[in-house]
Structure 1
Amino acid sequence: MSRYHNVTGLIIVVVLSFIVGCASTPTREGTGEYIDDSVITAKVKTAIFQEPSLQSAEINVETFKGVVQLSGFVSSRQDINTAVHVARRIVGVSDVRNDMLVKGQ
């Protein structure tokens, strides 16, 4: 009987450790959030790539907990506005942070 309790206790500890280990914190994403953010990043990159007025190779996209950060260099202020607008249209994006710079400024 004691062995049964030890095995049961061990299983409970392992399951609880797994659940706590995958939980998110204010500075670290949980597993589900990481996957969601990866999907959002891919969708934003695709939308920017499909926007004919943007040179997407120079725009970097990162996502953390639904907040998209755009960085890189673009040709004009209009390109910045377009990229931000495109990112905001994506489902799951809660906010867009713009760190893009206009070339030559």
Structure 2
Amino acid sequence: MNKMIALMLAASASALLAAAPAYAQDASYKSLTDKATADYKQAKVACDAHSGNAKKVCVEEAKVARAKAESDAVAQYRNTPRELGKARKDVANAEYDMAKAKCGDRTGTDKTTCMNDAKAAKTAALADANTGARAGTNVAQNPPATMKENCDAMDATAKAACMTRNAASSTKVAVEDSVITTKIKADLVKDNDLKALDVHVETVNGVVMLSGFVPSQAQVKKAADLARGVEGVTDVKNGLKVK
């Protein structure tokens, strides 16, 4: 009987240990999304200092910031193609609403062009989100084939070491994407021409995706050049639009 109780206790302890990382991730995810909501509410209150279309733009900018913060939380703690695709669509829709608001003060051809650009940016962003959802953007689940060794023909000891190296390589790729995104964001903040701009950065398998709106074509190019200069970047998909 004592042996059976010991086995049951051991099984219970193992289950608790297995559940702990998932619980910690859920708590971290909730903390980030709660902060995104709180920051949005605070920013929205601050928008009361404006009036008319300026207030509308302010509120939409706050919504974009919230959507991006929630997208970052998903990327860190809900990193599945379905969840990432939904988060990116939410960002694309929020950015589109913000872009439309920014077109509000314009008239005639200028306003038409502004609205068309906003719609084109949304279409491109949604296409990227759909492509990512179909292809899968969880790097740990879909590491590049070139990262893996063929372990099949090895003896037991060598095969175990080979499989460990492959697993480590997959983890390294996932970590590198996060490092690349962080480095690009830091470099954007350091650049005097780009630090105040609303540039969203995502990295998948070394491919960097830039989205958002900037004042000039020169800044579109500069942001892309900056991203290309970061170690580990294999390509840059530049979805930035001139507002």
AA aligned to 2:139 is E
**Cα distance in 1, alignment partners of residues 238 and 230 from structure 2:** 15
Partner of 2:95: none
After superposition, where does 1:42-57 map in structure 2 within 5 Å? 42-57=182-197
Structure 1 residue 92 displacement after superposition: 0.3
Match of 1:86 among 222, 226, 229: 226
AA aligned to 2:183 is K
* Bigger radius of gyration among the two: 2
| 1:68 aligned onto 2:223 | no
Partner of 1:39: 179
Partner of 1:59: 199
1:45-81 Cα shifts (integer Å, max 9, x gaps): 1111111111444000000000000000100000000
Structure 1 residue 42 displacement after superposition: 0.3
* Change beyond 3 A, Cα 1:67–1:74: same
Larger fraction in helix? 2
Partner of 2:24: none
Query: 2:181, 2:203 within 8 Å by CA — same for their partners in 1?
Result: yes
RMSD: 1.4
AA aligned to 1:84 is A
1:14-57 Cα shifts (integer Å, max 9, x gaps): xxxxxxxxxxxx63311332211000000011111111111444
Partner of 2:238: 98
Structure 2 gaps of 5+ residues are 1-134, 141-170
Partner of 2:139: 29
Moved over 3 A (4+): none
> How many corresponding residue pairs?
78
Report 1 or 2 for greater relative contact order, CA contacts < 8 Å, sequence distance ≥ 6. Answer: 1
**Cα distance in 2, alignment partners of residues 49 and 29 from structure 1:** 26
**Cα distance in 1, alignment partners of residues 197 and 231 from structure 2:** 22
TM-score by length of 2: 0.31
Match of 2:212, SS?
Answer: strand
Structure 1 gaps of 5+ residues are 1-25
Partner of 1:11: none
AA aligned to 1:42 is T
AA aligned to 1:62 is E
**Cα distance in 2, alignment partners of residues 33 and 65 from structure 1:** 7
Query: 2:207, 2:236 within 8 Å by CA — same for their partners in 1?
Result: yes
